Structure 1
Amino acid sequence: MSLAFMRPVRRDDFDQVLALAKQSGGGMTNLPSDAEALRPRVEFSVESFEANAERPSGEVYMMVLEKDGKVIGTSAVFSAVGLDYGFVNYRINKTVHASKQLKKRIERRLLVPTHDFTGCAEVGTLFLSPDARGGGYGKILSKARYLFIAQHRKLIADPVCAEMRGWRGPNGEQPFWDSLGRLFFDMEFEDADLANSSMGNQMIADLLPRHPIYVALLPKAARDVLGKPHDSALPAFNMLLSEGFAFRGYIDVFDAGPLVDARIDDIKTIRESSIKKVSIGKSDSETQYLISAGRLSTFRVVRSEGTIDGDTITISEEAARALGTKSGDEVRAVKW
């Protein structure tokens, strides 16, 4: 068995990525399970790696986790979102109503449409095959994105946000969509999500309510899921929080999933990573590191045992081969 490693998605990965998307259960806008919606996303990502951009201009850097020749997971970095149509979210605001005559002061929550994260970077598209769970691979998928950002600072906008899938009931119930989105988009959630994936955010700008909405007017079932992640997204949500991302009251307009954000310099993996020179040999330590090498189309990430001595990290021949490095090359490493 070979080491699992992250690399940029390729055109010939499409069938395997589509199979993963179909396993996701839907609701991942950036990983649609429809072939016609997914194909241009994979194609654009390949083009983004090949473009050698000089600044964040909307590129999408999708990566895959490969093990023994099979793609078992995906994740991505979006250099800057919403540049064409805007990036819309609801912000949960507080408003206060007071009556001196009645001696009453009542606080209420409002859902306010915002473009606060338009132009920011985003991390997303994290999905791991159910067959591969339990081996720390989800953590690799998550942290590899931060090493990519660290290695390509000029290409990634700051801050970075992440949208999580909103909560669904055991039978697929979506109380937020059913009580709000459906009324304005006049379609099923899956159809709206697919349209958003294939056509972009303009449809949201066209059909989303233009005025704030009082949360108190929503059914209790909808109120209860504001900012609540999908059960399957909870581990990823917790990993984001542990990296320094914070939930500040922003939610997805379709399913009310939480949006979290962080400044690049505050992301733990980036802050704790450092540049080392490669020495190939037998490590005398069992300490594991997440190690990245290369730039854009040659970018790779692997988890491996290593020994750090000053500005040098000693790694195995297998790890060096997976990274495409040789002795003397520079890599970025962070303790696992």
Structure 2
Amino acid sequence: MSFVMRTARLDDLQTLYELAKITGGGFTNLPADRHALEQKLKRTEIALDRDTDEVEDDLIVLVLENSATGQVRGTCQIFSKVGQSSPFYSYRLGVMTQHSRELSRTFRAQMLSLVTDLEGSTEVGGLFLHPRERAEGLGLLLARSRYLYIRNHRSRFGDRVIAELRGVIDEAGGSPFWDGLAGRFFGMSFQEADEFNAIHGNQFIADLMPKTPIYTAMLNDSARSVIGMPHPNGRAAMRMLETEGFSDPGYVDIFDGGPTMVGQINSLQTIIHAQDVALAAVHDSGGEKQLVAAGQLANFRCTYGFVRRNDGEAISIDKESAARLGLEIGQRFTMVARA
């Protein structure tokens, strides 16, 4: 396998734009808009260039590169602290319980409340893998490389991490959740609203959306049935997040109703089990397949490698993986078992 994760550069713009055009919609963090993507790459450049290690409003775009061909075949993103330049809105699912003495009945109504509870969290998102590359664990490499990046730059991130999963999108590219709720107030289609949000931010939600809780019983059946449900293509991603240590506490996306998963960075399985070791030697082939990562900031790299523990617990990896990471004998790298 010749794939490696690296930080994105400005010259990745065209490739990212081509990837964005085949997402099928609903990917707010990967809009098919060249200017918006260019701004993301510029934010990444600024974040990688700064020499302080405090938690700031950074964006890190990572890309999956085929090192044999130089082609970029996937991407993902890390937002170090959401809700700093504009509010980070979610709906929170809750229940209102009311009792009538006269009727001797108790009523429990499910409600959606507009909240900014998740502001300040680190967000992992924007994950997209080219359809022709969805094999050999590349999706897992994309996802878990983000956690290794966070671990190896720990002072630049807080304690809580979230992941928004794309909600249910119909065959026409519309959102039943949007059509049943927000679309009634905004007078625009889901695609129009999603594109506007990706480029301009979601302040218009605060300007036009009702601030009072919404009873889900007032929504149509199509909208109710998809609340908190991931897109069918995102079910595997949801299982991966759960395995990693994320949970679903009842936050849903304001656009498509998809679930927002929440975890604690120091409790993520990849971060708990990762080890920093020195490279003692390289070998031609064989060994245990693991995720291996090395480098800081713009030099960060992550790939699959074949690891051996030799006499005296000395660590060696296959020479191809060492070359992809730019590792030399004696240098330190991070490794974690392929779950």
Q: Which residue of 1 aligns with 2:103?
A: 102
Give 3-state SS (helix, strand or coil) of 2:179's partner.
Answer: helix
User: Shift in Å at residue 172 of structure 1?
Assistant: 3.0
Alignment of 1:137-216 (within 5 A): 137-216=138-217
User: Shift in Å at residue 285 of structure 1?
Assistant: 4.7
Amino acid at match of 2:140: K
User: Shift in Å at residue 283 of structure 1?
Assistant: 6.6
Does structure 1 conserve the Cα–Cα contact (< 8 Å) formed by 2:159 and 2:266? no
Q: Which residue of 2 aligns with 1:307?
A: 308
Does structure 1 conserve the Cα–Cα contact (< 8 Å) formed by 2:174 and 2:191? no
Alignment of 1:1-336 (within 5 A): 3-67=2-66, 68-282=69-283, 285-309=286-310, 312-336=314-338
User: Shift in Å at residue 190 of structure 1?
Assistant: 1.6
Moved more, 18-27 or 194-203: 194-203
Moved more, 38-47 or 243-252: 38-47
Give 3-state SS (helix, strand or coil) of 2:205's partner.
Answer: helix
User: Shift in Å at residue 65 of structure 1?
Assistant: 0.4
Q: In the aligned structure 2, how far is the partner of 1:98 from the partner of 1:312?
A: 67
Moved more, 297-306 or 191-200: 191-200
Does structure 2 conserve the Cα–Cα contact (< 8 Å) formed by 1:283 and 1:314? no
Give 3-state SS (helix, strand or coil) of 1:23's partner.
Answer: coil
Partner deviation per Cα, 1:61-85 (whole Å, 9 max, x = no partner): 1100001310000011110001122
Structure 2, gaps ≥5 residues long = none
Structure 1, gaps ≥5 residues long = none
**Could you list the runs of 4 or more consecutive aligned residues of structure 1 that deviate by over 2 angstroms after TM superposition?**
169-173, 283-286, 308-313
Amino acid at match of 2:110: R
Amino acid at match of 1:110: M
Q: In the aligned structure 2, how far is the partner of 1:41 from the partner of 1:192?
A: 19
Partner deviation per Cα, 1:57-114 (whole Å, 9 max, x = no partner): 1100110000131000001111000112221100001110111110111111110111
Does structure 1 conserve the Cα–Cα contact (< 8 Å) formed by 2:294 and 2:301? yes
Does structure 2 conserve the Cα–Cα contact (< 8 Å) formed by 1:283 and 1:307? no
Partner deviation per Cα, 1:116-150 (whole Å, 9 max, x = no partner): 11011000010000011122111100000010111
Q: In the aligned structure 1, how far is the partner of 2:195 from the partner of 2:143?
A: 24
Partner deviation per Cα, 1:290-318 (whole Å, 9 max, x = no partner): 01101110100010111135664201221
Does structure 1 conserve the Cα–Cα contact (< 8 Å) formed by 2:284 and 2:319? no
User: Shift in Å at residue 282 of structure 1?
Assistant: 1.4
How many residue pairs align between the two structures? 335
Moved more, 284-293 or 145-154: 284-293
User: Shift in Å at residue 231 of structure 1?
Assistant: 1.4
Partner deviation per Cα, 1:190-243 (whole Å, 9 max, x = no partner): 221122111123222222221110011001111110010111222211111110
Using the size of structure 1 for normalisation, the TM-score is 0.96
Q: In the aligned structure 1, how far is the partner of 2:46 from the partner of 2:128?
A: 22
Amino acid at match of 2:321: A
Provide the alpha-carbon RMSD of the alignment.
Answer: 1.5
Amino acid at match of 2:170: G
Q: In the aligned structure 2, how far is the partner of 1:7 from the partner of 1:226?
A: 35
Amino acid at match of 2:57: G
Partner deviation per Cα, 1:263-299 (whole Å, 9 max, x = no partner): 0111111111111111232177531010110111010
Does structure 2 conserve the Cα–Cα contact (< 8 Å) formed by 1:275 and 1:333? yes
Amino acid at match of 1:165: R
User: Shift in Å at residue 43 of structure 1?
Assistant: 1.8
Does structure 2 conserve the Cα–Cα contact (< 8 Å) formed by 1:37 and 1:194? no
Amino acid at match of 1:280: A
Q: In the aligned structure 2, how far is the partner of 1:312 from the partner of 1:154?
A: 29
Amino acid at match of 1:331: F
Using the size of structure 2 for normalisation, the TM-score is 0.95
